[in-house]
Amino acid sequence: MKIISGTAHRELAGKIAEYIDQPLADVEVDAFPDGETAVKINENVRGEDVFIIQPSCPPTNHNIMELLILVDAARRASAERITAVMPFFGYARQDRKDQPRVPITAKLVANLLTSAGVNRVLTMDLHAPQIQGFFDIPVDHLYAKPVLINYLRERHPDTSNLTVVSPDVGGVKMARAYADALGAELAIVAKHRISSTRVEAMNVIGEVEGRDVLLVDDMTETAGTLTAAAEILHKHGAKRIYAGVSHAIISELALTRLADSAIEEVITTDSVPQAHGSKIHAVSIAPLLGEAIRRINGGQSVTSLFNV
């Protein structure tokens, strides 16, 4: 086995390598003066099971291109199998034609990865789970739920007064899974998106008055959905408001919004390097990904990793 890290999230790659007791391969990733990416693998990977760790987080286009170049280098060096480990899969929100003359970019990225020479993809909490079907190669789709729920149980052992809330109708299935695992009630916030950065929350379906609330979402970038939902929950009498998010691509706008919001804490994973800031607690997914890599390499099942 060889573990290769791109430049997108070296910290997470180091934690994964440490968990499986395997050093990161010696790889040079640099840039030419004109901005082109230069890659050189300084170890023999012939016949090896190669895992390339590279979330496609911002700068998204750069990180995807770097991943493709790393894959091509490993393929031309006669690697036996190449697995793209993408804890966060960028462009997942562009998974369908919702307007005339727009692309399905998630499918394009899947085609690029396969054409470059990827034999398998390991990812977590896709924004649209059906993206797995965009690939004609195996996709191992992990969930952050076990990691986040274990932390929530330690942090908030008493869930008798807890309500799990979906900030929009599309996230009800995810929120229901969290509610069932925590033994909590379920509620929904109906929202209306005004633009890519502005969301107007409309109403609350369910009982939240006098209860602790956990907002659950797969990702946040500007925190517009979370903060709008938190505002209306606060108006409906919610006691303490938390948020559980799989991927926190936190921007400056999001930090400002969260600081001014009723949300006390955002619990997330370290799937991307942007997951840090005030009110944000990142739980590491390195053991989850490391165990998946170990099992894929050994030809074992990864199904048990879905269990809470």
Catalytic residues: 191
Letter for the amino acid at 133?
G
Contacts for 306 with CB less than 8 Å, ≥ 6 apart: 142, 143, 146
Contact 131, 110 (CB under 8 A): yes
The backbone torsions φ and ψ at residue 46, rounded to the nearest 5 degrees and listed phi first, read -60, 125
How far the first Cα of the chain sits from its last, in Å, is 28
Contact 230, 242 (CB under 8 A): no
Chain centroid to CA 260: 25
> Shortest CA distance to 56 belongs to which of 47, 45, 48, 68?
68
